[in-house]
Amino acid sequence: MKGLLYARGLEIVLGHSVERLCREAAEWEPDIEKGGRRWAILDSYYVPTRYPNSVPGNIPARVYTAEAAQVAVVLAREVVEWVEAKMQSL
């Protein structure tokens, strides 16, 4: 998503929030709205999956199961494929 924003002419793209990056991309790509809402769940994987004390009263390994990981991979693949398609049309 950051690559698409740079390709659209932005000089500085900060942060890692998929939801926010999609919101920024919507200025040029209004069709991102549906996907952006769907892909926003990926933001919930950013910190808790990397730090053992970030899940209150639990550990990430018990919360982020193999099934959750598979869903995240599917969503991430959707983002990459969508961006690749958009980049080809630039």
pLDDT exceeds cutoff 90 at 30: yes
| Token code pair at residue 77 | 């693949």
Report domain extents, the chain: 2-88
pLDDT exceeds cutoff 90 at 50: no
pLDDT (0 to 100) of residue 52:
83
pLDDT (0 to 100) of residue 61:
87
- Global model pTM greater than 0.85: yes
- pLDDT, tens only, 6-24: 999 999 999 999 999 999 9
Residue 16 CA: distances (Å) to CA of 1, 21, 47, 57, 90: 9, 8, 10, 26, 23
pLDDT exceeds cutoff 90 at 31: yes
Report the alpha-carbon distance of residue 41 to residue 53 in Å, rounded: 20
Count Cβ neighbours within 10 Å for each residue of 25-35 and write b for 16 or more, e otherwise: beeebeebeeb
